[in-house]
Structure 1
Amino acid sequence: MTNEWIDITQPLTKNIAEWPGDTPFSYEVAVSKEQSGSVNIGKLTMSTHIGTHTDAPFHYDNEGLRILDLPIDLYIGSACLIDVAGVDCVTRADLEHVNFEGAERILLRTGSHPTSTKFPERFTVIGEDVGPLLKERGVRLLGVDTPSVDAEDSKELLAHHSLYRNDVIIIENLVLHSLEPGQYELIALPLALAEADGSPVRAVVRKWES
């Protein structure tokens, strides 16, 4: 056991890959210390869905909750990391034999998005039947190491909607390759963005000590 926090966030750099057609990330010093006489002031341009981020349901449902509607404790607490590498679509059958040990947050390590600087041609998606299983187990949050729980070309977004119907919120683009399966403590707080459909998060974990 260790109490060391491990950062599982994709750093936001000029080289990070955005969702095709979405707003890329950029940072610049808009006002320099020399210009202001006292401080440097930075300027950000980015999508709310670039890098490690959480989806508010409004992202895919016009009547859905927005970031400030979601409870903070959703993003803090016990998490179970499960390895599903090699699976094209994670289904109920892939997860129902796993003991979540009461964790309210599940992290799926697919290994299908190995680098944040290149958008993957294909990545593991989540089956529509996963949402009901997670609700049965008391899971409130699903984290994945992929850009989405649905395929890039999906318009129906069946996994997004199934998870929301079952009261499960999503975090995408986690960095999980260095972690072993097991129980962790997770903190992944979104920004307090009024009216927003999503938010970047700074996600960290440490081994769970019971």
Structure 2
Amino acid sequence: MHAGAPVFPGDTPYSQRWAATIAPGCPVNVSSLTLSPHVGAHADAPLHYDPQGEPVGALDLAPFLGRCRVIHALQPGPLVEWRHLEHAARGLPPRVLVRTYERAPVDRWDPALAAFAPQTVERLADLGVRLVGIDTASIDPAQSKELPSHQVIRRRGLRVLENLVLDGVPEGDYELVALPLKLMTADASPVRAVLRSL
């Protein structure tokens, strides 16, 4: 996260100001942050796409921690379809992260971001996947007003990570650690997503 981190048009970008700085009479630096919880890598809460959904601070952490598979679907076009994933779909763990970019655009907004086809999310859920992640800003197309893939995860009880940076991560299985903050009324939370070798 930084001042130039891209956000959906109209969303609140990251900014930081200093409330106190080290100087005579002040022994510490203290800053204040203003940002959307959707800046950078983040976990959406059901509240983001369901008016009766749970806020992120109430979510069980188990889906955000454990064995996952990174699958490459580089430059799939507007939608990640099942055909882009099936080469790595045998014996899926409960978490699947999809890499669509050769290099994630961490310094600019990409209106042509790749998103999940809702049928792909349905198929992953049918195979026991409980969390899906992607290296774009949304699992739905940027211009979508219906958010069909978000509605699939709502209906099927999946969790989601967006804006991951998977540059240089080989396909394969890892341990994922991507815990959301306990923001008790928020619609999302930043995460520090880490992949560890098994």
Is TM more than 0.5 here?
yes
Question: Is 2:132 the counterpart of 1:142?
Answer: yes
Q: Report the more deviating stretch, 160-169 or 31-40.
A: 31-40
The aligned residue for residue 109 of structure 2 is 119
For 1:123 and 1:116, the matched residues in 2 are separated by 12
1:173 aligns with 2:163: yes
* 1:8-63 Cα shifts (integer Å, max 9, x gaps): xxxx1112112111101011211122276222111000001111101001101101
Task: Report which stretch shifted further, 67-76 or 179-188.
Answer: 67-76
3-state SS of paired residue (2:178):
strand
Task: Give the Å deviation of 1:112.
Answer: 7.0
Structure 1 partner of 2:12: 23
Structure 1 residue 103: deviation in Å? 1.0
Q: 2:46, 2:187 within 8 Å by CA — same for their partners in 1?
A: yes
RMSD, aligned CA = 1.6
Q: Distance in 2 between matches of 1:80 and 1:113?
A: 19
Q: Secondary structure at the match of 1:183?
A: strand
Show the counterpart of 2:183: 193
Change in CA separation of 1:100 and 1:164 when aligned onto 2, cut-off 3 Å: farther
Is there any run of 5+ residues in structure 1 with no aligned partner, and where?
1-11
Q: Percent identity over the alignment?
A: 37
Of the candidates 172, 192, 207, which is equivalent to residue 197 of structure 2?
Answer: 207
1:163-196 CA deviation, whole Å, 9 max, x = no partner?
2212211100101021000001110011110111
Which residue of structure 2 aligns with residue 81 of structure 1?
70
Tell me the residue number matched to 1:13. Answer: 2
Are 1:51 and 2:37 an aligned pair? no
Could you tell me whether the CA contact under 8 Å between 1:143 and 1:171 is conserved in 2? yes
Give TM-score scaled by structure 1 length.
0.88
Q: 2:91 aligns with which of 95, 101, 123?
A: 101
TM-score, normalised with respect to structure 2: 0.93
Work out the CA distance in 1 between the residues paired with 2:144 and 2:10: 15
One-letter amino acid of the structure 2 residue matched with residue 178 of structure 1: G
Post-superposition offset of 1:135: 1.7
Instruction: Confirm or deny: 8 A CA contact 1:112 1:120 kept in the other structure.
Output: no
Change (3 A) 1:201 1:35: farther
Classify 1:36/1:115 alpha carbon distance in 2 versus 1 (closer, same or farther; 3 Å). farther
The residue that corresponds to 1:132 in the other structure is 122
Query: Are the counterparts in 1 of residues 70 and 171 from structure 2 also a CA contact under 8 Å?
Result: yes
Give how far 1:94 is off.
3.1
- Find the aligned partners of 2:128 and 2:25 in 1 and give their Cα distance: 52
Aligned length, in residue pairs: 197
Work out whether 1:70 is the aligned partner of 2:64: no
Gaps (5+ residues) in structure 2?
none
SS at match of 1:115: coil
The 8 Å contact of residues 96 and 133 in structure 1, kept in 2 or not, is answered as no
Task: Assess, with a 3 A threshold, how the Cα gap between structure 1 residues 36 and 143 changes in structure 2: closer, same or farther.
Answer: farther
Counterpart amino acid of residue 191 in structure 1 = L
